[in-house]
């Protein structure tokens, strides 16, 4: 299972030992058109288990060697038969293998230029070639071109090379390069025989994003924008939690264990459970996300659509004029409009074009601003001021070091946006304002910050209600540990807990297994062992 973890030298030695112990090197001869061809075929007897042999195939790919698994009599054989692949494998094992050195020099591998080329790409290229009959006089080329274009003949490298030279005047630059790659380079193509949707509960990586939405992280193009994050399955949530917490993703697949770096920002959008946000409820109650994941974000904003006559009028006017300008621009491009539309287009023309922004961001990412003493003092002062509001007995925790780190990151981002090498006090104050704003909207209660709303999904007032309600059930419980529902509601009202809240908590605890009802309107706390 650790085969793929070996370094190159150890893997070469392992393959050489495998060849000398249970391997076979044989010479294959064939004749075609009066010529004799010789090639070396290598076979390994590695393991009776197919998965183990598949791991050997993966290991061989490190040396650019393609192999296949063939079934023998009660044994599985790993076979390398292509000339170029056999040559590369022999070269890899040469310093260690005794058996590979016993091949006579007369049986050296022949060039792979007579190997077969895939039919489909050749047919696709040659189908569009239209040479003039009087220029292509050789009848053999006419026959080859017709058969290969209609996939009626198996193409080989020498034949295709000669035909490519004959039809070169009628090839486009792209087709010429494609034919050169087919005849001059090694390849490995498999025919797609069926396409179907597979039910898969493992990891799936989509590393290609069309257009301008590509994002590069550690040299790999990846996604960093997530829409409808609340619909992620538990496995993906676990992976993204590790990425945001440790800036890496651990992958264990097909016997290969790897750690992928994920040092990038994450921009995510989530929809509330009931379609719209209710400002009277906590955001953690309205998003189908675990608080542990929600608390990893530096900034959380709730997008609320409030009807406002003046703003709605401006928005409608902007959208309608945008459609009007778009149609006028299309007419002008088609040569149907002569009137000047520059004044109408101005509000819809970006101040900065995408190319400029792309260069700006690329340059800004190379700047690493350093905190000034003034900026550090301002952040420290504000952090201590907010923390001090939670010093009283029974007070909530207003802010944690996690938000302090968020303020630092936002301050550095502000300085980087200005292309500055220093984080100024203005950058620090800007970051503080942003954090205070979103916390007031999302993690605020009665004019105070309560970060537990985001980190645990329960505010300080809710926690006090939970403790009080559990105490009431314990106090009312008789010898059998059962409390009556009406008594619970009555005493809870006396302690300031409304009946609706009592019903809500009792229902939630029943679902979570914290309490159970042995009889109608009777409740008993579950004892944890």
Other C-beta atoms closer than 10 Å to the C-beta of 80 total 23
Q: Is the pTM of this model over 0.75?
A: no
CA 470 to CA 475: how far, in whole Å?
9
Is the distance from CB of 191 to CB of 151 less than 8 angstroms?
no
Task: Read off the pLDDT band of 417 (50, 70, 90).
Answer: very high
CA 17 to CA 21: how far, in whole Å?
6
Tens digits of residue pLDDT in 170-186: 888 878 877 877 776 55
What number is the average pLDDT over the span 388-398? 74
Give the pLDDT of residue 434.
92
Residues 104, 119 within the same domain: no
Q: What is the CATH number of the domain that holds 521?
A: 1.10.10.10
What number is the average pLDDT over the span 159-170? 82
Helix residue ranges, H only, 477-528: 485-494, 499-512
The verdict on residue 306 lying in a domain is no
Task: Read off the pLDDT band of 457 (50, 70, 90).
Answer: low
Residues 30, 84 within the same domain: yes
Task: Read off the pLDDT band of 368 (50, 70, 90).
Answer: very high
The verdict on residue 340 lying in a domain is no
Residues 97, 140 within the same domain: no
DSSP 384: H
- Tell which of 164, 184, 204 closes a domain: 184
What does residue 225 show for φ and ψ, rounded to 5 degrees? Answer: -115, 130
Q: What is the CATH number of the domain that holds 83?
A: 3.10.28.10
- Tell which of 267, 294, 321 closes a domain: 294
Residues 165, 250 within the same domain: no
The verdict on residue 276 lying in a domain is yes
Give the pLDDT of residue 414.
94
CA 82 to CA 88: how far, in whole Å?
10
CA 396 to CA 35: how far, in whole Å?
88
Across 68-77, 132-141, 339-348, least confident range: 132-141
Tens digits of residue pLDDT in 182-207: 776 555 555 567 777 777 676 655 44
Tally the C-alpha atoms within 13 A of residue 207's C-alpha that lie toward its C-beta.
8
Task: Read off the pLDDT band of 426 (50, 70, 90).
Answer: very high
The verdict on residue 259 lying in a domain is yes
Residues 102, 42 within the same domain: yes
Give the pLDDT of residue 190.
56
The tokens describing 338, both together, are: 């002569």
Give the pLDDT of residue 212.
43
In DSSP notation, 72-108 reads -SSSEEEEE-SHHHHHHHHHHHTTT-SGGGGS-GGGP
Task: Read off the pLDDT band of 209 (50, 70, 90).
Answer: very low
Most confident of 110-114, 177-181, 401-405, 429-433: 429-433
Residues 98, 127 within the same domain: no
Q: What's the domain count of the chain?
A: 4
Tens digits of residue pLDDT in 214-240: 455 544 445 567 888 888 877 777 778
Give the pLDDT of residue 429.
93
**Domain range enclosing 16:** 3-110
The verdict on residue 472 lying in a domain is yes
The verdict on residue 74 lying in a domain is yes
Residues 101, 130 within the same domain: no
Is the distance from CB of 370 to CB of 376 less than 8 angstroms?
no
Contacts of 274 (CB under 8 A, 6+ apart): 286
Residues 21, 96 within the same domain: yes
Residues 49, 97 within the same domain: yes
Residues 11, 97 within the same domain: yes
Most confident of 117-126, 141-150, 309-318, 320-329: 309-318
Residues 86, 134 within the same domain: no
Most confident of 303-317, 320-334, 335-349: 303-317
- Tell which of 49, 80, 110 closes a domain: 110
The verdict on residue 355 lying in a domain is no
CA 326 to CA 424: how far, in whole Å?
43
Give the pLDDT of residue 337.
63
Residues 18, 106 within the same domain: yes
The verdict on residue 257 lying in a domain is yes
């Amino acid at each position: 299972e650790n085969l793929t973890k070996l370094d190159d030298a150890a893997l070469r030695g392992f393959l050489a030992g495998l060849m000398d112990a249970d391997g076979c090197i044989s010479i294959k001869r064939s004749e075609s058109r009066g010529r004799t061809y010789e090639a070396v075929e290598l076979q390994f007897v590695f393991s009776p288990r197919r998965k183990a042999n598949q791991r050997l195939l993966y290991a061989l790919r490190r040396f650019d060697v393609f192999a296949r698994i063939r079934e023998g009599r009660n044994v599985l054989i790993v076979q390398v038969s292509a000339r170029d692949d056999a040559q590369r494998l022999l070269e890899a094992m040469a310093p260690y293998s005794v058996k590979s050195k016993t091949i006579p020099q007369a049986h050296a591998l022949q060039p792979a230029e007579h190997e077969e080329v895939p039919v489909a790409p050749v047919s696709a290229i040659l189908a569009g070639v239209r040479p003039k009959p009087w220029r292509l006089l050789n009848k053999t080329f006419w026959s080859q071109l017709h058969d290969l274009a209609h996939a009626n003949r198996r193409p080989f490298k020498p034949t295709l090379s000669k035909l490519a030279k004959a039809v070169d005047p009628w090839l486009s630059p792209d087709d010429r390069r494609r034919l050169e790659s087919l005849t001059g380079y090694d390849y490995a193509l498999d025919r797609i025989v069926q396409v179907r949707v597979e039910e898969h509960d493992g990891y799936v990586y989509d590393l290609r994003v069309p257009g301008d939405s590509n994002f590069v992280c550690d040299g790999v193009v990846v996604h960093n924008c997530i829409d409808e994050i609340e619909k992620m399955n538990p496995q993906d949530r676990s992976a993204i939690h590790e990425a945001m917490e440790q800036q890496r993703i651990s992958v264990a697949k097909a016997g290969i264990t790897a750690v992928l770096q994920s040092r990038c920002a994450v921009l995510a959008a989530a929809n509330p459970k009931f379609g719209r946000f209710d400002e009277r409820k906590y955001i953690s109650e309205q998003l189908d996300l675990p608080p542990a994941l929600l608390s990893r974000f530096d900034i959380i904003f709730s997008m609320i659509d409030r009807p406002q006559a003046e703003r709605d009028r401006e928005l409608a006017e902007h959208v309608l004029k945008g459609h009007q300008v778009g149609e006028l621009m299309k007419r002008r491009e088609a040569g149907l409009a002569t009137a000047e539309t520059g004044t109408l287009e101005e509000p819809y023309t970006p101040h900065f074009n995408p190319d400029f922004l792309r260069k700006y961001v690329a340059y800004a990412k190379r700047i690493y601003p350093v905190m000034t003493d003034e900026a550090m003092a301002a952040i420290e002062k504000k952090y201590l001021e907010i923390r001090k509001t939670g010093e009283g007995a029974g007070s909530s925790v207003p802010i944690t070091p996690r938000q302090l780190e968020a303020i630092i990151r936002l301050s550095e981002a502000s300085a980087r946006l200005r292309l500055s090498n220093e984080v100024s006090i203005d950058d620090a104050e800007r970051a503080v304002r942003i954090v205070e704003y979103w916390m007031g909207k999302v993690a605020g209660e009665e004019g105070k910050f309560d970060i537990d709303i985001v980190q645990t999904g329960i505010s300080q007032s809710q926690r006090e209600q939970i403790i009080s309600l559990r105490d009431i059930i314990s106090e009312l419980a008789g010898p059998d540990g059962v409390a009556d529902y009406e008594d619970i509601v009555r005493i809870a009202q006396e302690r300031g807990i409304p009946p609706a809240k009592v019903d809500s908590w009792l229902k939630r605890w029943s679902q979570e297994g914290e309490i159970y009802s042995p009889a109608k309107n009777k409740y008993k706390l579950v004892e944890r062992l």
